[in-house]
Structures are given as structure tokens and as C-alpha cells.
Structure 1
């Protein structure tokens, strides 16, 4: 009888796949205390909305400084750590590099209640750069960081030497196409996420070709949060930032920019919030970066566009050499 049960147990285990969530993903707390960044992390305290929050940041001083600083702003599904190779390349060319995690992201504070606005995040970021006595800098933003970088440049043109937007979101007004979602709706969606869901989304929208460890690293980081008992606070902040992105577009102010601007666009990118909420017909009109790059360049005074063919949402991860070369050429000329 025992032998029969043993055989049955083995058979069951053979047909049930072992979840990557259980075997390959490290549980991560809300402040990523058990996740190491590539450079030393410091914390800046900011007083916002009657609370004191901590902004985590890396500030890498070049060994042979050229006197210029570049600030790198992360996207919604990322944190400052994914800029490691970009930091190395910029530092080697003499640039000091500032890399903050915004409130609600990475190693920074995760509020229970916070009114997210791009103005507030830009204000916080300016306070940080002021504390480091940075008078002028080039501001580079990827994805959601592109929306923030644009807002920063609009608010602080005297500080922004150059604006660089790398596959920014917000190049179209998605609320004109998708049905309204409340913060509660976004929260429920976030609570359903796990590694497979995150991986499938990124494979569909971010990358081409075989899934590899360079891509998996950032999906695993997000998935690590979903395993922690405090994940609901991460999900809640994610929901609030969805609402910020959708209700505070920068697309209508591109023509007001007063700083030199470079767009670096991977043309295969199809990222668009809310595509899962619309028909296939409407979905096919969203996130067309092979068209959005040119349209956006034409809206920004004297902007330059570099298109990277057959590259998706993360040029600095998927095709680093093709990303860093035009970036350095622009910054040094």
C-alpha cells in the first residue's frame, strides 16, 4: 500500500511544473534591503505632503571629470540599478552621474498615502541635486522617467543642459483610447502579478528573440516583491503611479521645451498602458514607436531623433552599443 502511494506521489510531482516563483526568485522587501545595487547607495530626506520620505540615490564621481553631470531617471517597472552599464560608460568619459530612485520605487520610501504628481517628483529630484550642489546637468529619462525628465526640464530649464528621452512613454494620450480605470482597478490588477505574468508582458512589449538572463534579471526583481508579505504596499504605489501617468500627460507641452533635446527610440517598442482593456482594432493603434518618434521630434523645438531599428522598449539593455554610441556623441558635441 505504501509503495502504491509513493508511486502516485511521484507521478503527481512529475506532472505539476515547479514554479519559478518558488525556485528561482528571491523574496524582496519593500526597500530592497537584500538586493545590492552596482554602486554605493545614499539616502536624501525630503519633506513632502506632511511626511519625511527617503530618496535612495547613487552619485558616481568620475575619476577624470570633464566638469559635466548626467542624471539618469528610471522607468516605472525599474529602478536605478538597471543603469549600471550606462553609468560605467558615462563615467569613463568623465561625466559625473546621478541616479535617483523616485519615491515609491527601488530602495526609496514606499508611502501608504501619497499624491503622485510629476511636479512633486521633479521638485523632490531638484532638491536632491541642489543638496549635491549640481548647478547644471543633462537629464536622461527612460519610459516613465522620460515623462518625469520632460516635466523637470519644463520646470527647471536653467538647470537642464540637455534633455534625453529614451523610449519615453506619454508620447500619446492613452486616456483618449482606454476606458477609465480607478486606482482600485489598477491595484487589483497589480495584485495578480507574478513572475510568469511579468515575463510574458515584457516579452510581448519590450524585447525580441530568446528570453535571456539580461532580460530576466529585471522581471525577477519585480517578481521578488510579489512574494513578500508587504507586496500590497508596492502594488498600491504602482496603482497610484498608473493614475499619475494617465492623468498627467506631457504630450501637450512638448512645444514649450526650451532645452536641447535628443530622442533615442527603439522602433520595435509597442509599450502602451491599457492595451489589455481595448479591442484588437484599437490596440493596433497604440504604442507605435516607429511612428511616435518622428511625431514627437516634430513637436519639440530643434529636437534630434535617433531611431534604433528592430529594438524594443529598453535599448540600453537590449542593444547597449547601439544606444550608448549616439548618446555619447550627443553629449560630447
Structure 2
């Protein structure tokens, strides 16, 4: 296994998949809380943090399968944030027997049509590449970071974002592979208990994604007040209670 990972705690396994713009530090406050009661696996996805750069093609779903098989986890609760939520959703669709519960924090979704405003936000970052300082200014001024950037975790967020941008600028050319058909067409096939969590002040596109997840048979939707996309940093205790409650159902 060439991905960098850490395992802490004992008991029912919970695998945490971090968001874009971050790495394992996305779980700095939540992972220790969960590890008091459960076995927690955190890892850097390929090309991020301490994991190796992509080479040729990347399949994040198969990477997760390899990690779980390496750790001899027959099944686990998956907690995915942003693109980590997209990976978790795809994995749950293709390997449902390995997913006990599915917990998604403002996930992205394959096949979802993002708005012109969202695409312009992404394009505005790309236009100032590779100037890291400008990339940081543009990215972190987005409304999805308004809460975290006005609070005590501002410096932590800036450092994670800086490390993330520095890393992705070293990537060689590669192909990212996602399963087909896209998950947006298959959400009604998710059979496990699913919890969708989103911050009140997250991007409207991410709230629109939540509407699609209402197709999931056993889904609960939860909005956290005064939170943005980085609810993992700003509201870890609230997240822990929601995760713990779902596992105990």
C-alpha cells in the first residue's frame, strides 16, 4: 500500500476521506474525538499530502478498496467531505457490501451540473495559476469559506490550502477515472443508512446536490447553522454527535 495512512482507536472502523484543498489535516479535530470510541482510518488521497503523485491514471475508488483490503476491513462506515464524499458515494455504489454506513459532508457528485457561478469561481483560480499567493487569495475569498476564514482556524486553512496548491502544481499529466454511469443517475441504488450533512452557508450548488440525495431510500439530511464548507474544522463536536448517533441506530 503506497498511500499514506494512519489508524487510531479501536472498535467499529470509520474511514475518513478528506476534501479538496486539504489533506488528512481536514480531520485534525474530528478524528481524535471519534477515536475515543471507534477505530479511525485517515489517509491522504493519491497526489496529496504524504501520498505519492499520480502516474498515468488515477482511480480513487479503487485506491480506497486497496486501502481497506490492506487493512483487512471487511466493511466500514465511510465519512467523506467534498470530493471525499464523491469518492465515498461511488465506492458505496460499487462495493455496497463493504459500506456499513455512508456519511457525506457537503459532497461533490459525479454527473451533477454545476452552475455558471461555481464554474466561474473555479476558472478564476485557474486563471491566476501558478501564482500560489493569488490562487490562495481567489480561492479562500469564496463564500464557501466565509466562516472558517473569519474564525480561529484561518491560519490553518491557509496553510493547508498552500500545501495543497504547491503539491498539485507538481503533478504530471494523468487521467482521473470515475466509474460509469455517473452517481447522480444511481443514487436510488444506495441501500445503506446515509447521512447528508451541509453547512448553512456553503455554496448553493452544494445545497442543490442535497436535493438529489433525497432519492436515497435511507437518507437523513442535516444542516448545521453558522457553518460553511469547512464544518469539519469549525463544528467537529456537532459532527461527532451526528456520526455517533447514526452508527448506534
TM-score range, shorter chain: 0.7 to 0.9
Contact 1:187 1:236 in 2 (8 A): no
Contact 2:108 2:206 in 1 (8 A): no
Tell me if 1:142 matches 2:142: no
Matches within 5 A, 1:1-333: 44=1, 54-60=2-8, 62=9, 65=10, 67-93=11-37, 95-111=38-54, 113-116=55-58, 120-170=59-109, 173-174=112-113, 177=116, 189-194=128-133, 197-203=135-141, 204-208=143-147, 211-224=150-163, 231=166, 234-235=168-169, 237=171, 249-270=182-203, 287=205, 289=207, 291-293=208-210, 295-333=211-249
Distance 2:53 2:148 in 1: 35
Distance 1:253 1:89 in 2: 33
Distance 1:205 1:192 in 2: 21
Cα deviation for residue 92 of structure 1 reads 1.0
Contact 2:25 2:160 in 1 (8 A): no
Distance 1:238 1:323 in 2: 36
| More contact order relative to length (CA 8 Å, sep ≥ 6) | 2
Q: Where do 5+ consecutive residues of structure 2 fail to align?
A: none
Contact 1:122 1:152 in 2 (8 A): yes
| RMSD, aligned α-carbons | 3.3
Distance 1:169 1:237 in 2: 22
Contact 2:111 2:185 in 1 (8 A): no
Distance 1:108 1:303 in 2: 32
- Deviations along 1:274-312, one digit per CA (max 9) or x if unpaired, are xxxxxxxxxxxx5252x543x133211121111112311
- Deviations along 1:121-146, one digit per CA (max 9) or x if unpaired, are 11121111111111110011000000
Contact 2:49 2:164 in 1 (8 A): no
Distance 1:69 1:146 in 2: 17
Q: Where do 5+ consecutive residues of structure 1 fail to align?
A: 1-43, 45-53, 271-285
Partner of 1:41: none
The higher radius of gyration belongs to: 1
- Give the TM-score of the pair, scaled to structure 1: 0.64
